[in-house]
Amino acid sequence: MSDTSSNQMWGGRFAAGPDAIMEAINASIGYDQRMAAQDIAGSRAHAAMLAAQGIISDNDAQAIREGLLTVLSEIESGDFAFSTALEDIHMNVEARLKEIIGEPAGRLHTGRSRNDQVATDFRLWVRDQLDAAESGLLALIRALLAQAEAGADWVMPGFTHLQTAQPVTWGHHMMAYVEMFGRDLSRVRDARKRMNENPLGAAALAGTGFPLDREMTATDLGFDRPMANSLDAVSARDFAIEFLSVASISAMHLSRFAEELVIWSSAQFRFVTLSDRFSTGSSIMPQKKNPDAAELIRAKIGRIFGANVALMMVMKGLPLAYSKDMQEDKEQVFDAADNWMLALAAMEGMVKDMTANRAELEAAASSGFSTATDLADWLVRETGLPFRDAHHVTGALVALAEKKGCDLPDLSLKEMQAVHGNIDQSIYDVLGVHNSVASRMSYGGTAPTRVREQVARWQENLA
């Protein structure tokens, strides 16, 4: 396409044309060309509606719609020459359309403005990203469910303050992340439903005198309804901020899990082995296997958080309706979306490929006095001690085991009875880690039976 100068698009008022600095600061084509498919979809729907309303002829609408498909084909094949002088994706497409079909191209913009056009394009693009995030989250959840089902009865230490607390199961730990990412999935779906309204037809800010059928374009573009206020339609970017907010919460969950994978795959823990596909070696230390994918997820999350804050800063002081500041709404959203989708895909790959080291998990679960709470509960149930007294007795037994350099099950019955005379042989039934996790039968507990129930519930819901 020809690099037509922007003064030809704007007419006489800008006959001299902007200087190079103004052109550089004003242009957005370097990044908003990513919305080409959405821009063309919106224009095709608008042209069809204009013809249906008798605002333009059927022949012109057909020429416009077919010409736009040609433009889309050129863009998708890499044969389209984008022009900075034409500022943005909208004018680049329209200028090329005029080269292809001539005078009818000038009728496409009837009853609309770049303000409602870009608002429509951006909503469509963000909606597509929410759909992609839904797919990514579903894939990750399914990978976690497979891990949970396989290890529903594998014991491992549960932590608070990164200190051994009580035994849990591998399946239970995986299901904790299923619940987190499940809430992310709910937020994605909720955000999509809320933002699925059509700005097209709001024109510059006040609506238009042309008899537009905004319901028709809403239906054609998959929106639930037209936006009800033209000022709001062109100036709202809360849908993009909500996208970034949802992405930030999900990214935080990804980062927490990534941190655990970094810890778990270390030589000090050896809880999991990550596949070679998601690890790298060291250039100097041949024994190293670095969890680079997890570390990069943990790092990239900051870009998503930053994008969320950046867009709120852009929008926080803008009066209605449109201001050029809002051109700065896209780059950070594009970058955040890229990094969120990449992090979701990488985490799914790691979870699918990783191997939980069952023996290491069980050995760790059996150390660090992880069944101390079970001992205290036993004292309450079997001897009638108040829990605070049982807590004190258990603390004394833990101190004794520490002094001897052993764990609680290694203390003799005589040693335990020296601390509290009513302890009997049945205490050893609760000090094993498998007995401990099996006893946690409350709803939401770590017992293998409960874990399998939750896995089945999720599998049914996803089906």
CA neighbor of 36 nearest in space, from 74, 84, 86? 74
Place of tokens 């007795």: 393
Output the DSSP codes for 319-370: PSS--GGGGGGSHHHHHHHHHHHHHHHHHHHHHHH-EE-HHHHHHHHTSTTT
Residue 235 CA: distances (Å) to CA of 117, 127, 192, 204, 232: 12, 17, 18, 10, 5
The answer to whether the CB of 362 falls within 8 A of the CB of 156 is yes
Is 282 catalytic? The answer is yes
- Give Cα 447 distance to the centre of its chain: 30
Tell me, rounded to whole angstroms, the distance of Cα 401 from its chain centroid.
46
Which of these, 323, 423, 308, lies nearest to 375 by C-alpha position?
A: 423
What gap in Å lies between CA 191 and CA 404, rounded to an integer? 57
The DSSP element (H or E) to which 262 belongs, if any, is helix 238-264
8 A C-beta contact, residue 235 and residue 320: yes
Cα(439)–Cα(27) distance, integer angstroms:
65
Which residue of the set 161, 283, 412, 442 is catalytic? 161
Phi, psi of 15 (to 5 degrees): -60, -30
The pair phi, psi for residue 106, each rounded to 5°, is -70, -15
- The two tokens of residue 423 are 């302890």
Which of 57, 275, 282, 323 is an active site residue?
Answer: 282
Spell 272-291 as b/e; 16+ CB within 10 A means b.
Answer: bbbeeebbeeeeeeeeeeeb
- Phi/psi for 77 (5° steps) reads -85, -5
Residues paired with residue 155 on neighbouring β-strands, in sequence order: 169
Catalytic residues: 161, 282
